[in-house]
Structure 1
Amino acid sequence: MSEEPYDLRKVLAEIKDDPTQYHETNKEINPEADLAGVYRYIGAGGTVQRPTTEGPAMMFNNVTGFPDSRVLIGLMASRKRVGKILHHDYKTLGHLLNDAVTHPVEPVKVAHDAAPAQEVVHKATDPDFDIRKLLAAPTNTPVDAGPYITVGVVYGSSPDNQQSDVTIHRMVLEDKDTIGMYIMPGGRHLGAFLKEYEAKNEPMPITINIGLDPAITIGATFEPPTTPLGYNELQVAGALRDEPVQLVNGVAVNQLGIARSEWIIEGEILPNTHMQEDINTNTGFAMPEFPGYNGTANPAVNVVKIKAVTHRKDNPIVQTVIGPSEEHVSMAGIPTEASILNLVDRAIPGKVKNVYNAPAGGGKLMTIMQIHKEDEADEGIQRQAAILAFSAFKELKTVILVDEDVDIFDWNDVMWTVNTRFQADKDIMVLEGMRNHPLDPSELPEYDPARIRIRGMSSKLILDGTVPFDMKDKFKRAPFKEMPNWKEYLE
């Protein structure tokens, strides 16, 4: 008998016996701010308000108002846990993702009876249908615009069905059959497909897939130029697992869903239609975003009308994240590392040994690059690598360059470099007037009217902490004796 394909439940089965990585609780929890408030202390990490820490993923089995489902948070809120889930060294996950994106494995379609995600079907035409009573979507803070789907993978296609893509967006439950979806301007292929539908004044069929193998969730966050328009990132997950992701036809819309999801929401994005994101609360806030601040409620998010919801029959799992947590760093940062490695490997092969998108930048805004200088002709190649990183990922804001003897995953080691191998008058590069991420609150025109013309523009920063090649002998770390048997002294 063949082994079951990968899905969220198979992943949880692989880590559930390790209390440092997974914890379940039957204590009742309110999904309205309490659930995120509790996990903030236990395992959120990232740029979440202190105190916080890195801890186990948590399954809440007793969610107020939702007796038939569970909520999982923090599954990817540890790079080491992601390494364990993907069966790979956590320090070289960027290399793993880079290899996967260049060796894609296409999804396959299965029948309805082979799709666990469609075991139970709720039609929006049912008189008692209400997504807010069906899906245990939490709010992260008391001022959120409403319950949010924070880690739902949206599957969409071009009108001619020749191209498809998966993306992740923030989505708020607005009323019983309506979702407000924020599609960032100029970003992601879903927006390109939507423009085609809007030109025809037709609704765009989509599925929102919740409760997934992290190989899918992490792979879905790749962006151009690594994955151009028409590259369906489910192929990345297929490569990571060495098996194709399974898809299934929707029950109410002409679109595909991920067959082994816990939940599938089927709906249509209405053409040329928008609504106020916080229409039910008027707080002015959306939800906490990856830079560590509450996102401003958008006055005109896209409107999704729900047609059906399907889910597994056995206590389906709602997976959620806290926006500024370490979980976002894993989802956004590791594919960004892969994108940077993909580009620099082609342009200057062998010169960038590794890349880390640190939690301080939420996985998007900061990269630490480990540089290999082989001879004096390589001097300056490190700054070219930094500029290539900005080309690979436009939302990157800061690059720190370090030598091979520096552990890029150890913030003290990185800052040691900045303090002992860096002079501010010669080792800083500033690139003005470039595009970045509009959720960075410093990128407002009123912050710097001379350089920020519209929201989302930024100056980019390069800190070159690499030693000049001809001075390497003056920057050797203090040598210690190698002791292969050191662990014996802990016994």
Structure 2
Amino acid sequence: MSLIVNSRQETKREYDLRSAIELLKSVPGQLVETNEPVDPHAEISGVYRYAGAGGTVMRPTQIGPAMIFNNVKGHEDARVIIGLLASRERVGLLLNEKPERLGFLLNEAVQHPIQPVVVPNDKAKCQEVVHYANEPGFDIRKLIPAPTNTEEDAGPYITMGMCYASDPETGESDITIHRLCLQSKDEISMFFTPGARHLGVFREKAEKLGEPLPISISVGVDPAIEIGACFEPPTTPLGYNELGIAGALRNEAVELVQCLTINEKAIANAEYVIEGELIPDCYVREDQNTNTGKAMPEFPGYTGEANPAVPLIKVKAVTHRKNPIMQTVIGPSEEHVSMVGIPTEASILQMVERAMPGKLLNVYAHSSGGGKLMAVLQFQKSQPSDEGRQRQAALLALSAFPELKHVFLVDEDVDPFDSNDVLWALNTRYQGDVDTIIIPGVRCHPLDPSQIPAFSPSIRNKGISCKVIFDCTVPFHLKDKFKRAKFKEMDPKRFAPSLFE
């Protein structure tokens, strides 16, 4: 990361989007820039679908580099980056950790947070340029190159906005990521997943008081903030400010700044900051400008339905850095898997380790579940009494992250990050009639389209699911009969050095 010198002549690391980009530039194959003109309406995601989206995006797609679009139509002074976190390898690079150890890194960070600090306004790069909503010609749609992911989206969406607000009763603050649709020159709709975000509690409290809720939206920040913001209860309960996780990941407090038009803070080195208020008892139809019936592509790989009544933010100001960089994400992409999946892994590791130390070796929140719906748990049975504990670990995982739908259990000799290895275990160490644990009628995630009564008469209402544990571990008393073929240990670099650089 880049180094700067502060006013006291002390050397200090700066962690922001630009330092992350500079790091990627130094590593071949991690970043591509293009000067080709691109329309933010559907074209940016249309390109990146092929170049690096991965995840649950319809094939053909692939895991590829991040991309910067330098020539965005209608926005001469701005660039757009997409796919910053769209590979586990790249996340490991940005957080200075091995990809397979990222869950452990975040688990440590969540347990030892470093709380954010506030810096003076004149030190905040996010306020280098200021636009007030009461000024003539103000239009957030012209100021921010927010893309539409597809041609049928409800409108331009901010998909990587770090939403920061405070509890109107306690003053405790929190940060989360939400679906934000630009509705007019100074209005943004904000979608809340029912019961899943702390800001939803803050909004409901303010609404009961008949008061607007001040909120800042920071776009284009340090990747550690974007990952940390995706933790959920019970790992980070109400009152836990996830910015502390980013502080722990960097061993340095995140810097906030006082907003100019509302009583709230924002991330001081963000590329853009939107200042506004969630208006009490004010709701709009999400697709009121397009009438498509669609919102935007979501993590399961389907385009979400437009919500008929979403809360509304009244924008007071937009501030940004000089020559700002807009950051965006494709909802079903591998980037979503990284952002929500790695915190999921950390949550599961934490919960299971408390109950049975040393038994859970690793966790992978699988790409095919968008980082939410499916997890692979690597479990070690070291004595006869461990038999059955693997299933207890799976139940704990479902408790630690209630949006999980499917859990696969594998032994220590199976790589949880290799889907073919997991399927090998399913094919050679699993019998459907004895190794399938079915848990019907459990609340899961409403964006899974199969969780509706029309799909199955067992589903009472939307968001109810049948959760399943697939136990692909060998019974302890049979472990000696399921040893994998052993090959002679060799140094392959001697024979094919270019393959093992």
The question of 1:173 aligning with 2:182 is answered yes
> CA deviation digits over 1:212-251, x for unaligned, max 9?
1110000000000000001000000000000000000000
Secondary structure of the 2:75 match is: coil
**Residue 422 of structure 1 aligns to which amino acid in structure 2?**
Y
**Residue 221 of structure 1 aligns to which amino acid in structure 2?**
C
Of 12, 19, 24, which residue of structure 1 is paired with 2:33?
24
How far apart are the structure 1 equivalents of 2:143 and 2:58?
Answer: 30
Of 5, 15, 18, which residue of structure 2 is paired with 1:6?
15
How far apart are the structure 2 equivalents of 1:189 and 1:163?
Answer: 10
How far apart are the structure 1 equivalents of 2:440 and 2:274?
Answer: 42
How far apart are the structure 2 equivalents of 1:132 and 1:183?
Answer: 22
- Which residue is 2:141 aligned to? 132
> CA deviation digits over 1:429-487, x for unaligned, max 9?
010110100000000111112x211111101010000000000011000110001x211
> CA deviation digits over 1:244-286, x for unaligned, max 9?
0000000011100000100000000011211000000010100
Shift of 1:15: 1.3
Shift of 1:328: 0.1
Secondary structure of the 2:495 match is: helix
The question of 1:101 aligning with 2:110 is answered yes
Runs of at least 4 residues off by over 6 Å: none
**Residue 298 of structure 1 aligns to which amino acid in structure 2?**
N
Contact 1:19 1:56 in 2 (8 A): no
The question of 1:401 aligning with 2:409 is answered yes
Structure 1, unaligned stretches of length 5 or more?
A: none
Shift of 1:175: 0.5
- Which residue is 2:7 aligned to? none
Contact 1:71 1:317 in 2 (8 A): yes
**Residue 419 of structure 1 aligns to which amino acid in structure 2?**
N
How far apart are the structure 1 equivalents of 2:56 and 2:194?
Answer: 24
Of 141, 157, 170, which residue of structure 2 is paired with 1:148?
157
Contact 1:35 1:140 in 2 (8 A): yes
CA RMSD of aligned residues (A): 0.8
TM superposition score normalised by structure 1: 0.99
Contact 1:31 1:64 in 2 (8 A): yes
How far apart are the structure 1 equivalents of 2:283 and 2:483?
Answer: 59
TM superposition score normalised by structure 2: 0.97
The question of 1:215 aligning with 2:224 is answered yes
Shift of 1:136: 0.2
> CA deviation digits over 1:350-380, x for unaligned, max 9?
1111000011000000000000111010000
**Residue 466 of structure 1 aligns to which amino acid in structure 2?**
T
**Residue 274 of structure 2 aligns to which amino acid in structure 1?**
I
Q: Indicate the percent of aligned positions where both proteins have the same amino acid.
A: 60
> CA deviation digits over 1:402-440, x for unaligned, max 9?
000001111000000000000001000010110100000
- Which residue is 2:4 aligned to? none
Of 205, 209, 212, which residue of structure 2 is paired with 1:203?
212
Of 447, 467, 470, which residue of structure 1 is paired with 2:477?
470
**Residue 307 of structure 1 aligns to which amino acid in structure 2?**
K
* Cα separation, partners in 2 of 1:280 and 1:400, compared to 1, 3 Å: same
**Residue 416 of structure 1 aligns to which amino acid in structure 2?**
W
- Which residue is 2:6 aligned to? none
Of 168, 181, 191, which residue of structure 2 is paired with 1:182?
191
- Which residue is 1:482 aligned to? 489
Secondary structure of the 2:260 match is: coil
Of 318, 328, 342, which residue of structure 1 is paired with 2:326?
318
The question of 1:282 aligning with 2:317 is answered no
Q: For this pair of structures, how many residues does the alignment match?
A: 488
How far apart are the structure 2 equivalents of 1:444 and 1:453?
Answer: 8
Structure 2, unaligned stretches of length 5 or more?
A: 1-9
Shift of 1:348: 1.2
Shift of 1:19: 3.4
